């Protein structure tokens, strides 16, 4: 997954990317990196 500038935001092996991104919405797991990735 790349941002608008072409920078890599996500590299992983998620079978279901939507499910993986939704899992990041748990308050105990939110970091600045994740917030940038999903916003």
Residue 6 clears pLDDT 80, i.e. is over it: yes
Digit-coded pLDDT (tens) for 11-33? 777 788 888 877 777 666 667 77
pLDDT for the residue 28:
66
Whether 37 and 14 have beta carbons less than 8 Å apart is answered as no
Structure token digits, residue 35: 């917030």
Nearest in space to 39 (alpha carbons), one of 23, 26, 27, 21: 21
Cβ-based neighbours of 4, under 8 Å, separated by 6 or more: none
Cβ-based neighbours of 39, under 8 Å, separated by 6 or more: none
Residue 5 clears pLDDT 80, i.e. is over it: yes
Cβ-based neighbours of 12, under 8 Å, separated by 6 or more: 20
pLDDT for the residue 38:
74
């Amino acid at each position: 997954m790349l941002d608008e500038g072409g920078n890599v935001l996500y590299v992983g092996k998620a079978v279901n990317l939507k499910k993986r991104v939704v899992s990041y919405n748990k308050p105990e797991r939110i970091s600045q990196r994740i917030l940038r990735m999903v916003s």
